[in-house]
Structure 1
């Protein structure tokens, strides 16, 4: 079905299909979903990229034009497009789907795009390099493990920002993931790896396409989420 003819029912079906427990099957699905990915997310009122970029921008201290951004789980390049509108110009993208990276190439925004399945493979980023590391939408049970958070921090340069969003699925696994992630964030702060900048709730993150089957928009249920922003500790020199 062409992109222009996609319906909310098509989008709901796609979201259901992307939850395969087998990572290889999930990657194959994302490869096939790439062309209609943004359209389907729009049909699901997916607001996470807009909310996350706005959240980062209002807390970012520095020159957007000079900042080097690592866009993790970049998908089709949605986040980079929004950041470009706010003056950011230098992007490196990472995603586990070749099809998604092919869509990201079309944006002409990325200096480099790297294929890696997060959790199964190490984040392909040089340590201490990026002014901004951002991941939107992928931190959830069955997709990207909490362990990736330390790799995000490692990729940031001293003084660099790490911006993360996490959806709140209405499930026991979602509750466990949230608790595990927030414990890791606090542990890393206690270890002196970074400092907390801001945390903000995301209201109406997207329509609950997994559990909600009401056809009338006014009756649809929404998922919420949380945005986190940390700043990597700068090294002190003692003479």
Structure 2
């Protein structure tokens, strides 16, 4: 069976080695996954990029063709492919996997693509440069640490928008990450670094391929949350 014909159960088995690996092993995994990443995510009914771009459309009133977008944890370029259909043209992408960046480069949509392992290396983005900063799917335990959220805010222009999504995977580490993340969001608001615009829940973030219990059925979905903040003008 070719990689492109993997089923949900196949993907549960395929992804299982991600549990408990260190950051370097995770990068190697994503490098090897890059070529079939998008097809596999279709199999997983991965709705987060589509939901996030609709969320952007509902809450952004600028002129898309003039907007500078920082696509953090850009992967193969799924978000940029959807945003370009809405008229956005200027993208800079950042990811920890060179294999994923190679796939993103094939889209021809990014003026720059930068390799960085977030949390261990600083976000390679100029301070106050971007009208929109996006991070979809990477805010979770073992991937992008909560500390990176301040770097996302720093990269935005004064008055710029920071769009973030987090999956709602039910686990001890996932619950702990949620608490830490939302505490940091609130703290940054109290520090007047940004203001909260809206938070929206997603019922069907993606099929749960991370749970390996035998009683889990393919139709069981992970929920998710989308957050929108606006950077302070001062």
TM-score norm. by structure 2 comes to 0.95
Which deviates further from its counterpart, 205-214 or 90-99? Answer: 205-214
CA distance in 2, matches of 1:216, 1:226: 22
Q: CA deviation at 1:168?
A: 1.2
CA distance in 1, matches of 2:39, 2:20: 21
Residue aligning to 1:117 = 117
Shift in alpha-carbon separation, 1:110–1:213, aligned structure 2, 3 A: farther
Q: Are the aligned partners of 2:93 and 2:114 in contact in 1 as well (CA < 8 Å)?
A: yes
Residue aligning to 2:46 = 46
Deviations 1:148-183 (A, max 9, x none): 000000000001100000011110111111011001
Residue aligning to 1:37 = 37
Q: Are the aligned partners of 2:205 and 2:223 in contact in 1 as well (CA < 8 Å)?
A: yes
SS at match of 1:86: coil
CA distance in 1, matches of 2:222, 2:153: 27
What does 1:45-124 correspond to in 2, within 5 Å? 45-124=45-124
Q: How many residues align?
A: 233
SS at match of 1:65: helix
Residue aligning to 1:192 = 192
Q: CA deviation at 1:192?
A: 0.6
CA distance in 2, matches of 1:169, 1:215: 13
TM-score norm. by structure 1 comes to 0.93
Deviations 1:206-226 (A, max 9, x none): 111122556865xx2111010
Residue aligning to 2:153 = 153
SS at match of 2:176: helix
Q: Are the aligned partners of 2:66 and 2:88 in contact in 1 as well (CA < 8 Å)?
A: yes
Structure 1 portions without partners, runs of 5+: none
Structure 2 portions without partners, runs of 5+: none
Residue aligning to 1:229 = 228
Q: Are the aligned partners of 1:156 and 1:162 in contact in 2 as well (CA < 8 Å)?
A: yes
Q: Are the aligned partners of 1:72 and 1:94 in contact in 2 as well (CA < 8 Å)?
A: yes
Task: Tell me whether 1:181 sits opposite 2:181 in the alignment.
Answer: yes
**Structural RMSD (CA):** 1.4
CA distance in 2, matches of 1:136, 1:176: 19
SS at match of 2:65: coil
CA distance in 2, matches of 1:216, 1:95: 32
Q: CA deviation at 1:40?
A: 1.0
Residue aligning to 1:19 = 19
CA distance in 1, matches of 2:44, 2:36: 12
Shift in alpha-carbon separation, 1:215–1:188, aligned structure 2, 3 A: closer
Deviations 1:24-65 (A, max 9, x none): 100000000000111111111110000011101110121111
CA distance in 1, matches of 2:25, 2:88: 34
